[in-house]
Amino acid sequence: MGKRREGREAAVQFLYQADLNAGQVPAGNNDFWTLRAAPDAKGASPATRAFAEQLVSGVQANSEAIDDRIRKYAANYELHRIGAVDRNILRMAIYEMLFCPDIAPVIAINEAIEIAKRFGTEKSGGFVNGILDRVKTELDRPSREAHSPLGGAQLPLGEAKLPLGEAKLPLGGAQLPLGEAAAPPEA
C-alpha cells in the first residue's frame, strides 16, 4: 500500500473517531497512532502520518464549506443520516478536491471509492462516487491535472483556508525554497 493511500485511510479513521466523539479529538493525537499500529508493527512512516494529519487538519479547518457541498449534492439525505464512514470519506475527498491543487480531483475520487469499498457498506463505493462526481463538475480546474503548490498555474479555488500556515510538501512536510523542483508525490 502506498504512503498516500495509507495516509488517507488513517485520516478517514481519525475523522470517523472525531465525528463520533463530537470533534473532541486533536489532530496530532498520539493515542490514535499508537492504537492504529499493529502490536508487532513499527506504525505509520513520518511521511504517511504527516499526510494524514494534513488531511485531518484541512477537513477540520474547512468543515463548514465541505459539509455544505455534501448537503448540496446528497439529495434527500440529511448530513447526519449519511453513514459515518461514508460521510468522513466524502469530507476527506472533497477537501482534497477543493483545497489541494497538488492532487488531481480524479485521484481523490478514485482513492475515496476504494476506501469506501474497503471500510463502508456494499453500496458505499457507488454512493461516494455519485456525490464526488457532482462536486467535480463545479471545480474550476481540470479534473485530471494536479498543480504544484510551489509554482505553476494558480487555480481559482475560491477562498481556500490553508490549515498549515506554510507551504509544505504533502509527503513528509519538507520545505523547499520556491523554484526548486520536488519529485511528484506517490498517489
Letter for the amino acid at 139? Answer: L
Q: What is the pLDDT of residue 140?
A: 78
Q: What is the mean pLDDT of each run of 10 residues along the chain (187 residues)?
A: 86 90 66 62 77 92 95 89 96 96 94 96 95 92 64 40 38 37 46
Cα–Cα distance, 147 to 88 (Å, whole number): 25
Q: What is the pLDDT of residue 177?
A: 37
Q: How many helices (H) and strands (E) does the chain have?
A: 7, 0
Q: What is the pLDDT of residue 156?
A: 38
Q: What is the pLDDT of residue 170?
A: 39
Q: Which residue has the cell 485511510?
A: 9
pTM to 2 decimal places:
0.73
Q: Which residue has the cell 461516494?
A: 128
Q: What is the pLDDT of residue 160?
A: 40
Q: What is the pLDDT of residue 27?
A: 56
Give the domains, in start order, of the chain with CATH numbers.
3-137 (1.10.940.10)
Cα-atom radius of gyration of the chain, to the nearest Å?
16
Q: 36 burial class (0-12, 13-18, 19+ CB within 10 angstroms)?
A: middle
Q: What is the pLDDT of residue 90?
A: 97
